Amino acid sequence: MANKKESTLRCVLVLSVIAVVCGVLLAVLNPLLYVAPSAEDISNYFDLPVENPGEWKVVDLNSEHAGKTTDKSGAAVSLVAQMQAGEETYYGLLITTKASGNLSECKFVMFFTKSDNKLVDAKMTVDGSSGGKYTYESAAAASENVKKFEEYYVVINSATQFDTDYSIPKVGATLTLTAVDNAFKKAAYYYYNVIMGGGAQ
């Protein structure tokens, strides 16, 4: 077996050849399969069924609160837009929550009316839960039962409790439920402090 004893040089050589071949193969396939990362397009996210809708216009983000993760929850406001429909002005917020465990990044859109500071619609546009849609469905079912949830967030005013740890019965889909929770908190916080100019912490 002496002649079969592999020298270190041979090992290194074989490994590098395999690596180079694999690299070349991927390099050839790359232009065929490449997907350009889609830009945060307003029309992708903001569609609110209202009567005679106007055009969504991006509002400048207040850099202090948005764009990047600012608190430990990891939720960030990544896009804010405004729309005039008849008398009413609508605000749309795109919230991104960070990945945690086997939950990837999620995106939520939330719509507010300017006249009464009401949350009129909220939905999850990118569901990051691995395992598909049922995880989110069961999270939604669990949070449905929590009346407090709505009380805190439907109308935004100085009484809205942005950081209260109220208790959602977190049984299953815990990560997804936490992401939903964080997104709501972030949106309410941003809306109160930046759009309403509430100022108070």
Partner 1 sequence: MGKLVISNTPHIKSKSSTKRIMIDVLIALLPAFVMGIVYFGWYALLLCAISLITCILAEVVYLLIVGEKIKDIIRKFDFTSAVTGLLLGMNLPPECPWYLPIIGGIFGIVVVKMLFGGTGKNFVNPAITARIFLVLSFASFMTMWGEPSIGALFPLDSGATSGATSGATALGPILQGSSQMSNLDLFLGTGVGASAIGETCKVALILGYIYLVIRKVIDFKYPLIYVGVTGLMMVIYQGNINAFLPSILSGALIFAAIFMATDYVTTPNTTLGNIVYFALLGILTATLRHLRGTESVSFCILFMNFFVPLIDRHIVPKPFGFKKAKKEVKDGK
Partner 2 sequence: MKNKVKDLALDGVLRQNPTLKLVLGTCPTLALTTAAMNGVGMGLAVTFVLMCSNVIISSLRNIIPSRVRIPAYILIIATFVTIVRMFLNKFAPTIATAMGPYLPLIVVNCIILGRAEAFASKNPVLDSMFDGIFMGLGFMLAITLMGAFREILGAGAIFGVKLWDFKIEFFTHASGALFTYAIFIALFTYFSGLYSKKSKQKTLQKDKKEVEA
User: Which span (6-14, 84-92, 107-115, 185-193) binds partner 2, by CB under 8 A?
Assistant: 6-14
What letter does residue 195 receive in the DSSP assignment?
A: I
CB of 27 to partner 2, least distance (A): 11
- Which residues, other chains included, contact 83 with Cβ-Cβ below 8 Å and sequence gap of 6+? 46, 48, 53, 54, 55, 56, 57, 89, 90, 92
User: What tokens appear for 139 in the block?
Assistant: 């999270």
User: Which span (27-35, 69-77, 150-158, 188-196) binds partner 2, by CB under 8 A?
Assistant: 27-35
Residue 146 interaction partner, one of partner 1, partner 2, none, beta carbon < 5-8 Å per kind: partner 1
Residue 172 and residue 138 in contact, taking contact as beta carbons nearer than 8 Å: yes
What letter does residue 193 receive in the DSSP assignment?
A: I
Residue 188 and residue 152 in contact, taking contact as beta carbons nearer than 8 Å: yes
Nearer to partner 1, 45 or 181 (CB): 181
CB of 146 to partner 1, least distance (A): 6
Contact residues for partner 1 (CB under 8 A)? Answer: 141-142, 144-148, 165-167, 169-172
Calpha distance 61→78 (Å, rounded)? 8
User: Which span (82-90, 169-177, 178-186, 188-196) binds partner 2, by CB under 8 A?
Assistant: 169-177
Check residue 58 for interaction with partner 2 (CB under 8 A).
no
